[in-house]
Structure formats: C-alpha cells, structure tokens
C-alpha cells in the first residue's frame, strides 16, 4: 500500500500506531477512573496498558511490512528508521509498565492515571521518532514531556519525587524554549519547518547563514538537554534519583531514545549538508559527556544515582553515532537503543526488586551478598551490568562495537579511543555492584516474596531480557541486520551527501 | 596413531578443536545442574575428558610447512565479516595442551582447598577453560578478542570470591589493568579491519594488510600494550603479585600457567607477523629488550626479599616472562623457540610451585617462609618434588627451564650480545632467590614443632604433581619432539619479519646498525640471507635437529641428580657450562652465517659437538 498524504485519511494510516495508542490511553484513563478505589484492579489496568502497547506494535508491524509512502514530503515519515525506533519505544514502555506493576500497588499510586500517562508519553516519543517536521517534533516533545513531568512527581507523598518533578519541569520548560527558538531561527533561515525542505534549501544554497548558525546551535542545545548530554545534564541525577524507579527506567530509555531519534533525523537528514559546521560541537559534547558521565558515576554510593550517571555516559556513546552520521553509525544507534533499553530497564527492575517495591535499599551496601541470597537475581543483575559495561558475550558489546565501527568509518579515531577508555572507567562502577553482590556479606533483607503477581512478571521479564541480551550478544546477526536494514534510504531520500570526516 | 584418529567414525581432525572449546561449557551446564557436593567430581571428569581428547592433537597435528592445521571455519556474524574460525599450529598446540592439562590438575588441586560455593567455583573454572582454549585456537581476530575478554570474568570472580583478604582489590586491579590494554587493542583491530579493506577479520586478511611504518608503530603500541599488560612486561606488572597472592591456589595456577601465556602468545601470533616493520624498528626492539631485561633483573631482586613464598613465586613469573620477551624480540629462530619453551616450562613448573604452596597452606595455614623449616625430614616426597620443581624453575640443565632459557639467551646473543650477558645474570639471581627459599622451607633445622606433623603427599596430591614433574624432566631431557613441532610455525613468523626487512631495504639495516653499534646486528642480516638459505633449510630438514641439548643434558642431569642437593654445587655448573657454550658458539660461527635461516640456530649442535 502506498500512502500519498493527499488525503487526511492516509495521514491517519501513517500514524496508526500512535492513533491506536492514544485512543487506548484514553480508554485506560476512563477505566481507571471508573474503577477508582479498587486497588486490586491496579494490576489489571497495568496489563490492559501492556495490551494496548502490543496492539500498537502490531500496527507498527503492519506499517513495516510493506507500506510505502509517495515521496518524502509528508509531515511524518513512514521509513524503517522510525518503525524500528517505534519498536524500541513500545518495548521500553511495556517493560516499564510490567516493572511498575508491583510498585504501583505497593505505593498505592493511582493506577489509571499512572499507566495512562505512560501511554501518552509513549505516544509523544513515537511522534518525535516519526516527525519529518520540526513542529511535529515539538508537539511530540511537549506531549512526552508534560506526561513525564507528571510521572516524575507522581508519588506525591514522597518529597524527593515532588522535588524532582518540579526540577524537571522548570529545566525542561527552559530547554523547550531553546528548542522552539532554534526552530524559529531555522525556519527563518530556510523558509520551512519541513526537514526535507530544509535539506533541499541548504543544498540549493538559499539559506541565510546568519540565522542558520544560531538556529542550529539552539536546536543542539535543546536536544542535548533532552538526551542529558554534559553540560546540559544537571537535572538528570536528581530527577532520576527522585522519580519513582519504574519512571526512571522509562525516562532513561524511552525518553532518551525518542530524543536521539529526533536529534538524528534533524541533524543528519535535515542539516546533513552542514555536517562540517556542527560536527565539532557535537564531537566535544560527546567526548565531554562520555568522560564526565563515567567519571562522576565512579563515586556514587547509590545504585539508582549510579545508573543515572551511567545513562548519561551512554548518551555520550550515542552522540558519537550522531557525530559519525554514516549508515553504520545510525544502525549502531538503533541497535544500541534497543539493547540499552533492555539492559537499563533490567538493571532498574533489579533495583526495584531489591527495594521491595519501594524507594529504600538502593544504596550499594544494600546489594552486599545479594548474589548468594538470591542467586537468580544476582546472576541477572550481573548480566545486565556486564552488558551495560559492553562486555563481549553480551549484546552491549555488539552495540558498542557497531558504534565503534561507525566511528571508525568516519575516521573519528580520537573519539573512538575516548569511548573505549571511558568504557574502562565504567567497568569500575559496574563491577563494584558485582563485587558487592558476590564478594561481600550482609546487605539489605529482601522480602521472601514480592507483592502480588507483579513480582513474578518482573522476574519473567528479567529472565527473558537477560536471555535476549546473551542471545543477541552471541548471535547478533538477526537484530543487526534489522538495524542495518532500517537505515537504508534515510539519508539518500533527502539527498544528503555523506559527511566528510 | 594418526591413522587411528582419522579412522574414527567421526574423524578426529573434524571435531577436535570444537570439542576442546565447547566440552568444558557442556561440563559447566552439568555442574550447574548437579548437586553442589558432586560439583568437583563432575568438573574434574569433564576436564579430564577434554584432556584425553586433546592428546590426539599431538599426533593429528602435522607441522607441515608451518601454517595452521585442522582448520575449520563457519559463518558467524555475516554483517561484519566475522567468522567462527579455528586452527592450530606449532605455536598454539602447546598452549592448548598446556591448557587442557593444567585445568584438570588445578581442579584436582582445589579438591579440598575450595570448601564453599563449590558449584559456582567449578563452573567458573570450566568457563575459564573455554575462554583460554578459545584464545589459543581462534584464527579470526574478532573471535580471538571475544575469548580474550571472556577469560577476564571468571578469573575476576575466582580471585574476588575465593581469594585472600585483599581479594577484591586484587580482582579489580587485575580486571582493569587487562581491560585498558585490550580495549585499545580493539580500536587497533578496527583500524586494521578498515585498512585491510577485506571486510574480514580473518588472520590471513590481517596479514595481507599493507601498513605504513607510522601506522605499524601506532598499532604495534596498541597491541603491545594489551599483550604487555597480560604478560606482564615490567612497568605493567604490578597487578600480578596482587592477583597471584590473593587468588586461591587453583586460580594462581591457571593465572600463572595459562593467562600470562595469552600475552606472550599474542606477541608471537599477532604482534610479530602483523607489524614486522615495527617489531624491527630499532627503538622498538631496544625498548622491548630493555623492558624484558628490567623484568628479569628487577623481579629477581624483588623476589629475593619476599617473606611470603607465594609472592616470591609470583615475582619469578615476571622474571620468566622477561626471558620470553627478550627471546621473542631477539627475532631469531632460537630466540622464538626459546621463548615458547620458557612459556611451556614456566606453565608447568610455576603451576607446580603454586600447587605445592597451596598444599603447604592447606597444612599450616601460612605462606610465610619463616614458618617452615625441615619439611624434608617429615615429608620426604613433598620435599623431593619441591626441590625438583624449584630447580626446574631456576633453569637447571636437565629440567624444562633450562632448555627454554638457554635457547632464548642463545637467540638474544646472536643479535644483542650485551642483552644476553645481562639477562644471564637473571639465571644466577633465580638461584639466589629460589634456593634460599628451598633451603629455609625444606632443609634447615626442624625447629617449629608445628611442622613435625606436616603430612607427606596424599595420593591425590601425587596424582596432581606426578605429571608435572614428569613433564619438567621429559622436556629437559628430550625437548626434540617439542622443538620439531614448533619450528616450522616459528619459521613462518620469522620469514614474515625477514621479508619486511628486505622490503625495508638498507635503510632499516643502517638504522639498526646505528642503534646497536656494538653488535654486528643489522649489517649482515640484510645482505647475506639469500645465499645461506639453502644451507639453512637443509639443516632444518636434518633429522638430528634435536639439538645440542642432547650433548648438553647428561651433564645437566648429573648436576641435578647430585645426591647432596647442595645449592652451590647445583648452580655452579649452570653458568659455567653457559660460558663454555656461548664461547663455543661464538667460535663456531666466526665465519659468519645468516642468522635468519631457520636451521642455523641449531648451530647449538655444533657447539655441543665441539664441547663433547
């Protein structure tokens, strides 16, 4: 089927996953209100939301299996890059919801609102991944951000959660302003907000450079804030630490993935011909982010906060892909996001379980001896940590390797060396958790059984996730080919030439 | 035997290498599934089975012209051109056999030493075996790298969980040191991958990569750092004593016998053939030889003052590895073969020493040398094995240590006489630190009452130590089967280095001559090679290539078997025969021959004959 966008209906089809999910979110919201008070129903609502995500994934699959678009002028893209990113986003949302099932019940959060907000935020992230228009990106960003602001402060009884919500809201609004100003300047320079048209205008040489340069800088600032690149990361540790842990997992994966997808499309497709002008800025951003994220993570005594810094560091690795901007690097970005989603949510899920579905017990001392008391949990956490560290045998290594491949192809040797050296630094803090788990005694008491079925589901998800990480670490071909295949046509469509290193 | 192996329903050649890598992993699953009290039995049986399976390699492997044998390859990660490719040659076969031998012995040695969390321990041991075997068998660089890194995780946990008091510090230090080097090597591998343009990580594709001198030097630095830390070469050695001392006995054994060899194996397998220009660069050679020398001498001095027997032995590892490094960077057949022999011998003798120290620790719960004394009187068998092992570690003629160090020194003497002279002092120092330890532990008065109840070797311990002692003496007396198997492969490595030398032309020769004005070094190497080549290969083909060691060993054994085990008597013949042989060697090569031709090294034989 070919979508030509001349009719509004075709836009609806092109946005089918988003439409399905948005409607489902409203359904969840209504059901949540209708069943208010019945806390035992919280789990049902959670599973209902997962079903909605699955349905959206099916719609995404339909788009993937042979729906094409006529030309590249539409406001939303129906290309494999977007659809792959959508899968990652849906997976991140689904895993976050399953991990939060027990947490929501235990903390007596309003399940209807909570899950509906996650679904709406996911719709926002998917808009960002699909947008071929700066205004659509902005809409998606706002939809996502507003839902996430509420989610971060969702646990009203917890002061840290409320503080984190306010902090995120203030800084997020500020960054949104930067982004919007950047969009305005780029529009002034290129005469369009359509990424395709911007690329064409740049190629035709009809852009006003005096407006374009600050516009690009402001766009970069806005995106850097959302992907938590140093020095725009100041909010991240506090917000990640204060937010309810499942929300942190969602932010560290879905929000970051969406921001990277939009970042990449705007900079590589829209501004690809200006690569020579912006790559140095992003080069430094990437290098500083990798170094600072990893070095500061070294001294964290709180596992949740350590994972926050680790997520900053991973943002730095992903920025390398944006700088390299070739097919190998873009495929690496997609693959990395997928793997990163599984391993990060896995690690956060273990933190939630060790905390008995609360915000306690997330100091590193609390993990002492965990491996011997709860061997399965210990082994799973070890696998996730090794994957985050990028160790061979796990998918984390494959992802990092593909990233290095992209960087090497663009001859970014210094950045590649920075990447591997900061990886060594990261070994220290990932292994530190491992050594507390296996080489020390004591630590926090775990409840014999988690609360309700959420815990069992979490365990199943964890085992499946760890299994996938190992499988994709040893036999990465299938997923790798999928990622490599999702890149084709992304740049060629816009006619952007390959960036000169 | 070869026919028998080929006549198996599934020909041995087809499955051997795969089985060696994956059988331990199957054993791991078995251990995990079985109850904890059975773990050690199961692990031992699997590793013993792997050892039996690996023995076939001895016959199935035909040195041939020196390339890889028993090669097999399957597609693995097509998107990157990575293949699951295995092969064995004259360099790796010994490392593989050492691995398959050491693992069951280490497991048997850990029988009672590891008394908690046995299931996890033996699983990690088997995982480690898979990793190490994979390192030695992989002929795809990517696969090699994966196995190289894979060995870190089990070792990290073995040291960290079952180690001594400072185990976490030691485990993390070990992990981080090694990781720094190997990750930089990963970038270098990527660089070569793109430079080769072959879209392949195969060994051959990397060999065919054309690199400029500048590139070679940078890549050499990255690879050398990775392997140098693993070896460990002098300034990077500090992780080793910590890891050795803190590791449980079987961990120390595996670390000393196998993990260190991965570094020197990397030198031989990758560094020399990939960057033949860089390895001959006079500055590089000077640095590597200097680091090797410092390792030999410095480690010997440090070892001499250690009160802790385990730490002492740990430092001897640094010294021995120094011999390997100078042997390799002598860039002669003798040197390379000597390096390989030291690797084998060190694996056997140091592994045995760690096992012995572990037995002492199990009996007395101390490792301080001063707590022992007169053990020989209460445990004669233990003392005998201890002395033989210590002498093999020193490098007494008639033991495995001698062959390796002697060949390595000969090799170095051919190109860098001064280095060889200094390195020779390392042999003396080896006696200086090892013999007092032997004296204080085994002899001396039995003045500590606690030592009166020191039990002699149990049956299990005899089984553990027996094969190692037998190997030490076998290699020492009759090294020919080892040397003939490794020679073609070593020759291939050197030919590649030689080819680059010719390619570099007079310039390289001139540079070398400038760098080592006192050694004839580079001058003759460039021009004389062709005419001597015929003679060299004839010699190589000669059946008697089994070495002067033949003429050599009887006297050595006589010394070793001296009834009184007197320190002075034992050491004296060693440097003396050294000097004689070195002089004879010099005299006999006075009409200078090419030192590049493979067989010439066995001029050793001439030396032996003359002396005899």
**Inter-chain Cβ pairs, chain A and chain B, closer than 8 A:** 75
Q: Measured between alpha carbons, how far is B602 from B591 in angstroms, rounded to an integer?
A: 16
Do residues B165 and B118 touch, judged by C-beta distance below 8 A?
no
Of residues B324 and B508, the one with the higher pLDDT is B324
The C-alpha angle with vertex B98 and arms to B93 and B101, in degrees rounded to 5, equals 125
pLDDT > 60? residue B258: yes
Could you tell me what percent of chain B has a pLDDT over 90?
24
Do residues A127 and A139 touch, judged by C-beta distance below 8 A?
yes
Chain B residues within an 8 Å CB radius of A420: 183-184, 186-187
Separation in Å, CA of A417 to nearest CA in chain B: 7
Residue B380 inside a domain? The answer is: yes
Query: What is the pLDDT at residue A491?
Result: 64
Q: Which of B91-105, B168-182, B555-569 has the lowest mean pLDDT?
A: B555-569
Q: Measured between alpha carbons, how far is B481 from B547 in angstroms, rounded to an integer?
A: 11
**C-alpha B234: how far from chain center:** 16
Query: What is the pLDDT at residue A443?
Result: 65
Residue B242 inside a domain? The answer is: no
Could you tell me what percent of chain B has a pLDDT over 70?
82
pLDDT > 70? residue B611: no
Tokens 């003045």 -> residue? B447
* Nearest one of A250, A104, A99, A86 to A168, comparing CA atoms: A250
Q: Measured between alpha carbons, how far is B515 from B367 in angstroms, rounded to an integer?
A: 46
Give first-to-last CA distance, chain A, whole Å.
Answer: 39
Residue B135 inside a domain? The answer is: no
The per-residue pLDDT for range B107-132, each reduced to its tens digit, is 988 888 888 888 889 999 999 999 99
Q: Pseudo-torsion of CA B551, B557, B562, B566, nearest 10°?
A: 100
pLDDT > 60? residue B7: yes
Residue A358, phi-psi category: left (phi > 0), alpha (psi -120 to 50), beta (remainder): beta
The per-residue pLDDT for range B282-321, each reduced to its tens digit, is 899 999 999 999 999 998 889 888 888 889 999 988 999 9
* Nearest one of A377, A374, A355, A357 to A444, comparing CA atoms: A355
B145 with A392: Cβ contact below 8 A = yes
Question: Reduced to 3 DSSP states, what percent helix, strand and coil does chain B have, rounded to the nearest 5?
Answer: 80, 5, 20
Q: Measured between alpha carbons, how far is B411 from B395 in angstroms, rounded to an integer?
A: 16
Query: What is the pLDDT at residue B502?
Result: 67
Residue from B80, B158, B196 to probe the interface with A (highest A Cβ count within 10 Å): B80
What residues in chain A have per-residue pLDDT under 70? 35-40, 71-72, 443-454, 489, 491-501
Q: What is the mean pLDDT of residues B400-408?
A: 89
Residue B378 inside a domain? The answer is: yes
Residue from A424, A433, A484 to probe the interface with B (highest B Cβ count within 10 Å): A424
Report cis status (omega within 30 of 0) of the bond before A231: yes
H/E stretch holding B73 reads strand B69-77
B190 with A405: Cβ contact below 8 A = yes
> What's the structural domain count of chain B?
1
Query: What is the pLDDT at residue A317?
Result: 94
Three-state secondary-structure class, residue B581: helix
B191 with A413: Cβ contact below 8 A = yes
Q: Pseudo-torsion of CA B490, B496, B502, B503, nearest 10°?
A: -170
> What residues of chain B, 167 to 206, have a C-beta less than 8 Å from chain A?
167-168, 171-172, 175-176, 179-180, 183-184, 186-187, 190-191, 193-194
Burial of A324 (0-12, 13-18, 19+ CB in 10 A): buried
The per-residue pLDDT for range B39-54, each reduced to its tens digit, is 888 989 999 999 998 8
From the list B145, B153, B168, the residue facing A439 with the nearest CB is B168
Report cis status (omega within 30 of 0) of the bond before B232: yes
Separation in Å, CA of A187 to nearest CA in chain B: 40
Three-state secondary-structure class, residue B88: strand
Query: What is the pLDDT at residue A362?
Result: 80
Q: Measured between alpha carbons, how far is B374 from B357 in angstroms, rounded to an integer?
A: 15
Q: Measured between alpha carbons, how far is B433 from A170 in angstroms, rounded to an integer?
A: 69
Do residues B469 and B352 touch, judged by C-beta distance below 8 A?
yes
Q: Within 10 Å of residue A420's Cβ, how many Cβ atoms?
A: 21
Residue B151 inside a domain? The answer is: no
Band of residue B6 on the pLDDT scale cut at 50, 70, 90: confident
Q: Measured between alpha carbons, how far is B77 from A402 in angstroms, rounded to an integer?
A: 12
Q: What are the residue boundaries of the structural domains of chain A, listed by start?
A: 2-494
Query: What is the pLDDT at residue B449?
Result: 81
Q: Measured between alpha carbons, how far is A170 from A175 in angstroms, rounded to an integer?
A: 9
Q: Pseudo-torsion of CA A323, A325, A326, A330, nearest 10°?
A: 100
* Nearest one of A300, A340, A339 to A430, comparing CA atoms: A300
Q: Measured between alpha carbons, how far is B55 from A131 in angstroms, rounded to an integer?
A: 63
Q: Which residue in chain B is spatially nearest to A425 when comparing CA positions?
A: B176
Q: Measured between alpha carbons, how far is A424 from A426 in angstroms, rounded to an integer?
A: 5
Of residues B540 and B408, the one with the higher pLDDT is B408
**Domain containing B591: what range?**
281-612
Query: What is the pLDDT at residue A35?
Result: 67
Q: Where are the beta strands (DSSP E) in A11-117?
A: 68-69
Burial of A7 (0-12, 13-18, 19+ CB in 10 A): exposed
Residue from B21, B76, B186, B229 to probe the interface with A (highest A Cβ count within 10 Å): B186
pLDDT > 60? residue B260: yes
Tally: H helices and E strands in chain B: 29, 2
Q: Measured between alpha carbons, how far is B430 from B391 in angstroms, rounded to an integer?
A: 9
B160 with A420: Cβ contact below 8 A = no
* Nearest one of B481, B482, B597, B591 to B537, comparing CA atoms: B597
Q: What is the C-alpha R_g of chain A?
A: 21
B183 with A477: Cβ contact below 8 A = no
Do residues A501 and A412 touch, judged by C-beta distance below 8 A?
yes
Do residues A450 and A102 touch, judged by C-beta distance below 8 A?
yes
The answer to whether B22 contacts chain A (CB < 8 Å) is: no
Query: What is the pLDDT at residue B574?
Result: 40
pLDDT > 60? residue B583: no
Q: Measured between alpha carbons, how far is A309 from B549 in angstroms, rounded to an integer?
A: 61
Q: What is the C-alpha R_g of chain B?
A: 23
pLDDT > 90? residue B208: no
The per-residue pLDDT for range B555-577, each reduced to its tens digit, is 333 333 333 333 333 333 344 44
- β-bridge partners, B83: B75
Do residues A333 and A129 touch, judged by C-beta distance below 8 A?
no
Burial of B361 (0-12, 13-18, 19+ CB in 10 A): middle
Separation in Å, CA of B79 to nearest CA in chain A: 7
Query: Chain-wide mean pLDDT for chain B?
Result: 79
pLDDT > 50? residue B543: no
β-pair type (B82-88, B69-77): antiparallel
Q: Measured between alpha carbons, how far is B143 from B137 in angstroms, rounded to an integer?
A: 9
B184 with A417: Cβ contact below 8 A = yes
Separation in Å, CA of B160 to nearest CA in chain A: 6
Residue B440 inside a domain? The answer is: yes
H/E stretch holding B75 reads strand B69-77
Query: What is the pLDDT at residue B567?
Result: 32
A408 with B150: Cβ contact below 8 A = no
Tokens 């293949």 -> residue? B83
* Nearest one of B333, B354, B326 to B244, comparing CA atoms: B354
The C-alpha angle with vertex B53 and arms to B48 and B58, in degrees rounded to 5, equals 115
* Nearest one of B344, B180, B215, B200 to B268, comparing CA atoms: B344
Separation in Å, CA of A499 to nearest CA in chain B: 18
H/E stretch holding B82 reads strand B82-88
Three-state secondary-structure class, residue B472: helix
Three-state secondary-structure class, residue A157: coil
Kindly state the tokens that stand for B450.
């606690």
Query: What is the pLDDT at residue B539?
Result: 39
């Amino acid at each position: 089927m070919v979508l030509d966008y001349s009719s509004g209906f075709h836009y609806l089809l092109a946005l089918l996953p988003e439409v399905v999910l948005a409607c489902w979110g409203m359904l969840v919201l209504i059901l949540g209100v209708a069943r208010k008070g019945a806390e035992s129903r919280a789990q049902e609502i959670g599973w209902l939301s997962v079903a909605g995500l699955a349905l959206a994934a099916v719609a995404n699959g339909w788009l993937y299996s042979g729906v094409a678009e006529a030309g590249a002028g539409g406001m939303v893209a129906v290309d494999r890059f977007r659809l792959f990113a959508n899968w990652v986003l849906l997976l991140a949302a689904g895993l976050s919801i399953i991990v939060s099932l027990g947490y929501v019940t235990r903390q007596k959060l309003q399940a209807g609102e909570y899950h509906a907000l996650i679904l709406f935020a996911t719709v926002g992230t998917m808009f960002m991944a699909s947008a071929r228009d700066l205004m659509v990106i902005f809409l998606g960003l706002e939809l996502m951000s507003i839902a996430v602001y509420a989610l971060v402060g969702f646990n009203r009884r917890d002061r840290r959660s409320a503080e984190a919500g306010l902090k995120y809201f203030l800084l997020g609004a500020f960054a949104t302003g930067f982004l919007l100003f950047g969009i305005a300047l780029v529009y002034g320079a290129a005469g369009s907000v359509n990424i395709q048209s911007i690329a064409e205008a740049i190629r035709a040489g009809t852009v006003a450079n005096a407006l374009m340069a600050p516009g690009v800088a402001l766009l970069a600032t806005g995106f850097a804030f959302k992907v938590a690149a140093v020095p725009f990361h100041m909010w991240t540790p506090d917000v990640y630490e204060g937010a309810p842990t499942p929300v942190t997992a969602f932010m560290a994966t879905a929000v970051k993935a969406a921001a990277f997808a939009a970042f990449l499309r705007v900079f590589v497709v829209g501004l690809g011909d200006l690569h020579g002008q912006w790559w140095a800025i992003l080069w430094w951003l990437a290098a500083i982010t990798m170094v600072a994220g990893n070095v500061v993570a070294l001294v964290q005594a709180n596992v949740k906060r350590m994972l926050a810094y680790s997520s900053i560091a991973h943002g730095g690795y992903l920025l390398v892909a944006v700088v390299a901007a070739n097919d190998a690097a873009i495929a690496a970005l997609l693959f990395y996001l997928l793997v990163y989603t599984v391993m990060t949510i896995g690690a956060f899920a273990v933190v939630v379980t060790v905390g008995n579905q609360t915000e306690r017990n997330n100091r590193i001392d609390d993990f002492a001896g965990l491996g011997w008391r709860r061997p399965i949990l210990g082994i799973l956490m070890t696998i996730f940590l090794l994957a985050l560290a990028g160790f061979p045998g796990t998918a984390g290594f494959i992802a990092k390797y593909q990233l290095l491949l992209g960087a090497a192809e663009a001859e970014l040797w210094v950045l590649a060396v920075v990447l591997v050296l900061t990886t060594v630094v990261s070994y220290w803090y990932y292994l530190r958790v491992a050594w507390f788990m296996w080489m020390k005694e004591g630590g926090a008491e775990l409840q014999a059984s988690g609360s309700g079925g959420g815990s069992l589901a979490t365990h199943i998800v964890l085992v499946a996730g760890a299994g996938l990480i190992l499988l994709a670490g040893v036999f990465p071909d299938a997923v790798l080919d999928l990622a490599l295949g999702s890149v084709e046509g992304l740049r060629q469509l816009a006619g952007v030439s390959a960036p000169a290193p | 035997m070869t026919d028998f192996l080929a006549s198996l329903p599934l020909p041995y050649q087809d499955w051997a290498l795969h089985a060696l890598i994956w059988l331990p992993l199957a054993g791991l699953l078995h251990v995990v599934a079985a109850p904890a009290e059975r773990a050690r039995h199961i692990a031992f049986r699997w590793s013993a089975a792997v050892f039996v399976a690996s023995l076939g390699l001895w016959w199935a492997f035909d040195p041939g012209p020196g390339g890889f044998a028993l090669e097999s390859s399957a597609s693995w990660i097509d998107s990157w051109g990575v293949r699951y490719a295995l092969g064995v040659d004259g360099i790796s076969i010994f490392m593989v056999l050492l691995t398959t031998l050491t693992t069951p012995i280490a497991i048997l040695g850990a029988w009672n030493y590891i008394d908690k969390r046995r299931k996890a321990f033996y699983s990690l041991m088997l995982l480690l075996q898979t990793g190490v075997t994979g390192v030695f068998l992989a002929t795809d660089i990517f696969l090699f790298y994966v196995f190289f890194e894979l060995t870190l995780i089990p070792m990290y946990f073995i040291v960290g969980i079952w180690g001594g008091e400072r185990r976490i510090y030691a485990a993390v230090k070990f992990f981080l040191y090694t990781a720094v080097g190997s990750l930089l090597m990963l970038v270098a591998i990527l660089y070569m991958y793109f430079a080769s343009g072959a879209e392949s990580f195969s060994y051959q594709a990397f060999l065919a990569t054309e690199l400029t001198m500048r590139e070679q030097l940078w890549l050499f630095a990255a690879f050398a750092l990775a392997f140098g830390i693993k070896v460990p070469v002098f300034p990077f050695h500090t992780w080793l004593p910590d890891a050795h001392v803190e590791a449980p006995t079987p961990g120390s054994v595996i670390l000393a016998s196998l993990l260190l060899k991965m570094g020197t194996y990397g030198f031989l397998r990758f560094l020399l053939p990939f960057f033949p220009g860089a390895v001959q660069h006079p500055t590089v050679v000077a640095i590597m030889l200097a680091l090797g020398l410092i390792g030999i001498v410095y480690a010997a001095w440090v070892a001499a003052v250690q009160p802790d027997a385990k730490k002492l032995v740990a430092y001897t590892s640094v010294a021995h590895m120094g011999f390997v490094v100078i042997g390799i960077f002598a860039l002669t057949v003798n040197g390379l073969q000597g390096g390989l022999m030291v690797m084998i011998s060190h694996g056997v003798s140091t592994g045995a020493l760690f096992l012995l120290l572990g037995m002492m620790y199990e009996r007395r719960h101390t490792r301080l040398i001063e707590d022992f004394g007169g053990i020989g009187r209460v445990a004669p068998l233990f003392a005998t094995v201890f002395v033989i092992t210590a002498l093999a570690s020193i490098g007494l003629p008639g033991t495995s240590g001698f062959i390796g160090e002697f060949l390595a020194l000969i090799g170095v003497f051919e190109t860098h006489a001064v280095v060889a002279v200094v390195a020779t002092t390392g042999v003396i120092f080896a006696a200086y630190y090892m013999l007092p330890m032997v004296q204080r532990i085994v002899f001396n008065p039995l003045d500590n009452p606690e030592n009166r109840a020191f039990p002699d070797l149990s049956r299990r311990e005899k089984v553990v130590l027996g094969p190692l002692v037998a190997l030490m003496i076998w290699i020492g007396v009759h090294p020919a089967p080892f040397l003939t198997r490794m020679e073609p492969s070593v020759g291939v490595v050197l030919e590649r280095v030689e080819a680059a030398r010719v390619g570099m032309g007079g310039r390289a020769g001139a540079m070398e001559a400038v760098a080592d004005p006192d050694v004839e070094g580079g001058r003759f190497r460039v021009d004389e090679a062709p005419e001597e080549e015929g003679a060299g290969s004839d010699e190589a083909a000669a059946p008697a290539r089994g070495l002067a060691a033949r003429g050599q060993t009887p006297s050595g054994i006589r010394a070793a078997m001296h009834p009184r085990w007197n320190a002075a008597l034992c050491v004296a013949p060693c440097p003396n025969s050294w000097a004689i042989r070195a002089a004879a060697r010099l005299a006999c090569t006075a009409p200078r021959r090419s030192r590049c031709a493979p067989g010439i090294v066995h001029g050793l034989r001439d030396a032996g004959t003359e002396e005899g």
